Structures are given as structure tokens and as C-alpha cells.
Amino acid sequence: MNKDKTTLKRINTAHPFLRGALLCIYMECIALLTNPRVKLRFSWVLRTPEEQDALYAQGRTTPGTIVTWVKAWGSFHNYGLAVDIVLLIDEDGNGSFEAASWDVVKDWDGDGVPDWSEVVKVFKKYGWDWGIVNRAGKHIDLPHFQRPFGYSTSELKKLPRDSEGYPVLT
């Protein structure tokens, strides 16, 4: 099991309601992913409104491909209520994880279940939603998980904020 320091730091940027559970989720996941060449990373947790707008510009007014459909405050990441994952792979076994994988079917640890599905199961057990269902009813954005506590992003935007800037959930 590979514990990722970057991920542990990012867990502390999640909404205060979620930090404890998110650490449990992470520890459960990495215990299940037994190939030493695979490391689970949370690639995004909290995303600032400025980062969200920069991401929205990508593929529209700045180079790159379109990766989001929403501007600042339109993503659950902007409230610390969403996580994106990636699997980091040590391809040559030298201890550095030089490749990133979003393969949802590869069974890196050979236990008969795709590693991605193992992670999905843990998040779901803790009540998180996996991916996003788009207007056409298609399940997309498979690296994404969210725990909105029944709120929409427009409702969250209107809530009072705590001293750290997170919406006060009741």
C-alpha cells in the first residue's frame, strides 16, 4: 500500500465535515490496492473560484481541451465537497510514479476487480456519488466523486461561510 503525502495534504482542504471520512476512505482504498507499483492520488479536492474559472477558460479562450462545464461556484469542488482521483503508476519499478492512469477496467493488483472499481465501492459505501450524469443521461467524469449533502451548487453559494470560507452546512 502506497500512502501519498500530496493526497493527505489535499484531504485537509476538503470541507471540514468531510475530512475525517475522507481520510478513512483513502486509507481503506489504499489497503485494497495491493500492487506496490500503484498509488492512489486525489488529484483535485478543493478548487478555488479562480482555479475554476481558469479551468473553464481551457479549451474555450485558452489552449487545451474542454474539461469542465461550469464556472466559479458551479462545481462542488469549489466548496470542498468533491474529489477527483488518478492512479499513479511506477512503470519501471524504480520507486518513482512517473505515469498517470485513468483506466477504469485495469486490475493492477490481480484480485479480479478493477482497481478503479475498488475505489468506487469505498466512496459509495460512505455515501458519495460517483461521476456526473450529463443532460443526455450519460455517466461521465469517472475520476470525480462528490458528497453534496442534498445541496445544489447554487444553494451552497448562498449559505453563510465559516472562518475558513467553507459553507456552513446544517
Please report, as ranges, the residues that interact with Zn ion according to CB under 5 A: 82, 84, 144
In this chain, which residue has its C-beta nearest to Zn ion? Answer: 144
CB of 9 to Zn ion, least distance (A): 18
Asked whether 82 and 75 are in contact (CB, 8 A), the reply is yes
Which residues 6+ apart lie within 8 Å of 167 measured at CB? 15, 79, 151, 156, 157, 159, 160, 161
Instruction: Name every residue whose Cβ is closer than 8 Å to that of residue 57 and which is 6 or more positions away in sequence.
Output: none
Nearer to Zn ion, 28 or 51 (CB): 51
| 14 or 37: CB nearest Zn ion | 14
Cβ pair 88, 95 in contact under 8 A: no
In whole angstroms, how close is the CB of 47 to Zn ion at the nearest point? Answer: 8
Is the Cβ of residue 82 or residue 87 nearer to Zn ion in the bound state? 82
Distance CA 79, CA 161 (A): 10
Residue 162 DSSP one-character state: -
Is 33 or 85 the residue whose CB approaches Zn ion more closely? 85
CB of 141 to Zn ion, least distance (A): 6
Min. distance of Cβ 44 from Zn ion in angstroms?
6
